[in-house]
A and B are shown apart, each in its own frame.
Chain A
């Protein structure tokens, strides 16, 4: 019985790390650019599909883990140059309309390219076994996913907290005008940050592909959860995205054992509880 819970806790951690990677991008973009990106889930979806395509063509998952996020980030960068940067000064409602439109375009384009039926991605060779500890067994790939997401999280933390680029991103989240006054090309910083944030959703899309596959309507589902995580953790907070992601992942996973019908409900329950106690989220600032 205890093993069942351990299994679900690990599942929850894995799910939570995926949610973290998605939400941290969303939250960094919101923090610096004050921009609401409703296409974030669609870019995640694209990451999953690109993973499928690379794995189908080459049979190499590791290549897809490298290529797909870069492809997603590149597309995000182009979109930013062409469209998004014209919307920064608009009210959030307009940004939501624009990015929701983008999300629909990406979803429909995905259906045209990959078809309406979901695609599955095989578990990568070498990680298709089972990890055993005494009587406890757990799929290797899921363990790898937790570790890999944690490594990406650490690298991201280092980038944001220990480099000049990261300091500029944090400074810009407070006051873009002063960052410009110091001679930093704020527009370039915006583009790079947008591409970085969306690229992280791409990483999450690839990591989740061998478990959940790629399906046209995955984007909407993921977007909804990402916003729950960001609301729980607090807009613009790295730590908030991590804690919020893990919390949502664990709640969802444990609930499927305890009360399967209520698993999704409880995510929103957790969100409502946090909002009531801390309106700006666990790590948010007003």
Chain B
């Protein structure tokens, strides 16, 4: 469904991605692991066109997206929930959602309010009045009403209390069950192992490991070698 082939991305002169390839198939939840600075966020930003890869190809449902504008890629159904969450602080919760609503989405406004009752309670609050967990829920809810055909999540549980993390894990399960594939960047290995079908590990802009969840769990040396500091 989403195929990234040998992309090279740069920030100015620094070569951040040195040939990343990965695929996400229908209905899968795939994680992208690696230490800070390995290129996980840049991979996601390259997929949505915020960073334009200088080499390589990204295809979604068979069509090339490298060179397209971010909004065009988003309209094709690639939804990114960025690490900073991107909540509009001066808009209310309801407005944050309403500007994202697209007809034809699997999820209506009512659906996401059902999925996140907290957001319904806080719909009239400004985006600046939300806790970290609420912001993350709003960011995910906003991506859902936007009609995603694949969801990219950048460290959704970062800085959140364990109770909220559990709640998010349930939501992600729900999303996965709905058939929308997810590409998840996450530092919390427990979260990843609860959800993932496959894992990729990035190091210095390259994929250094790729395996199914079972393979990954069976081989603790991978964790020690590539993730020890962050795990």
Q: Does B224 contact A (CB under 8 A)?
A: no
- By the criterion CB–CB under 8 Å, are B90 and A181 in contact? no
Determine, out of B16-24, B69-77, B158-166, the stretch whose residues face the partner at the interface: B69-77
- By the criterion CB–CB under 8 Å, are A170 and B86 in contact? no
- A residues in contact with B217, CB < 8 Å: none
Q: Which residue of the partner chain, among A175, A177, A179, contacts B50 with CB atoms under 8 Å?
A: A177
Which B residues between 64 and 91 are near A, CB-CB below 8 angstroms? Answer: 69-71, 74-75, 79-80, 82, 86, 88-91
- By the criterion CB–CB under 8 Å, are A182 and B90 in contact? no
- By the criterion CB–CB under 8 Å, are A182 and B98 in contact? no
- By the criterion CB–CB under 8 Å, are B71 and A183 in contact? yes
Asked whether A183 and B146 contact (CB < 8 A) given A171-B99, A177-B50, A177-B86, the answer is yes
A187 to B102, CA, bound (A): 19
- By the criterion CB–CB under 8 Å, are B102 and A180 in contact? no
Q: Which residue of A lies closest to B77 (CB)?
A: A183
- By the criterion CB–CB under 8 Å, are B82 and A181 in contact? yes
- B residues in contact with A168, CB < 8 Å: 99
Q: Does B2 contact A (CB under 8 A)?
A: no
- By the criterion CB–CB under 8 Å, are A164 and B90 in contact? no
Q: Does B6 contact A (CB under 8 A)?
A: no
Q: Does B142 contact A (CB under 8 A)?
A: yes
- By the criterion CB–CB under 8 Å, are B48 and A167 in contact? no
- By the criterion CB–CB under 8 Å, are A180 and B88 in contact? no
Q: Does B95 contact A (CB under 8 A)?
A: yes
Consensus secondary structure, chain A interface: helix
Q: Which residue of the partner chain, among A164, A170, A173, A180, contacts B69 with CB atoms under 8 Å?
A: A180
- By the criterion CB–CB under 8 Å, are B99 and A175 in contact? no
Total residues of chain A contacting the partner, CB 8 A: 19
- By the criterion CB–CB under 8 Å, are B88 and A185 in contact? no
Q: Which residue of A lies closest to B99 (CB)?
A: A167
- B residues in contact with A74, CB < 8 Å: none
- B residues in contact with A182, CB < 8 Å: 74, 99-100, 142, 146
A168 to B79, CA, bound (A): 18
Q: Which residue of the partner chain, among A174, A177, A180, A183, contacts B89 with CB atoms under 8 Å?
A: A174
Q: Does A256 contact B (CB under 8 A)?
A: no
A165 to B154, CA, bound (A): 28
- By the criterion CB–CB under 8 Å, are A170 and B71 in contact? no
- By the criterion CB–CB under 8 Å, are B142 and A174 in contact? no
- A residues in contact with B71, CB < 8 Å: 180-181, 183-186
User: Distance in Å from the Cβ of B54 to the closest Cβ of chain A?
Assistant: 19
User: Distance in Å from the Cβ of A241 to the closest Cβ of chain B?
Assistant: 16
- By the criterion CB–CB under 8 Å, are A170 and B80 in contact? no
A164, A177, A181, A183: residue with the most chain B Cβ atoms closer than 10 Å: A181
Q: Does A178 contact B (CB under 8 A)?
A: yes
User: Distance in Å from the Cβ of A249 to the closest Cβ of chain B?
Assistant: 27
- By the criterion CB–CB under 8 Å, are B50 and A174 in contact? no
A171 to B74, CA, bound (A): 17
- By the criterion CB–CB under 8 Å, are B91 and A181 in contact? no
- By the criterion CB–CB under 8 Å, are A174 and B88 in contact? yes
A21 to B46, CA, bound (A): 42
- By the criterion CB–CB under 8 Å, are A170 and B90 in contact? yes
Asked whether A180 and B70 contact (CB < 8 A) given A171-B88, A174-B88, the answer is yes
A89 to B102, CA, bound (A): 29
Which A residues between 126 and 178 are near B, CB-CB below 8 angstroms? Answer: 164, 167-168, 170-171, 173-175, 177-178
A258 to B95, CA, bound (A): 48
- A residues in contact with B102, CB < 8 Å: 183
What are 11 A-B contacts with C-beta separation under 8 Å? A167-B91, A167-B95, A167-B98, A170-B88, A171-B99, A180-B50, A181-B48, A181-B71, A182-B146, A184-B99, A185-B71
The 7 closest A-B pairs by CB, nearest first: A178-B86, A183-B74, A180-B70, A183-B75, A171-B88, A182-B100, A180-B71
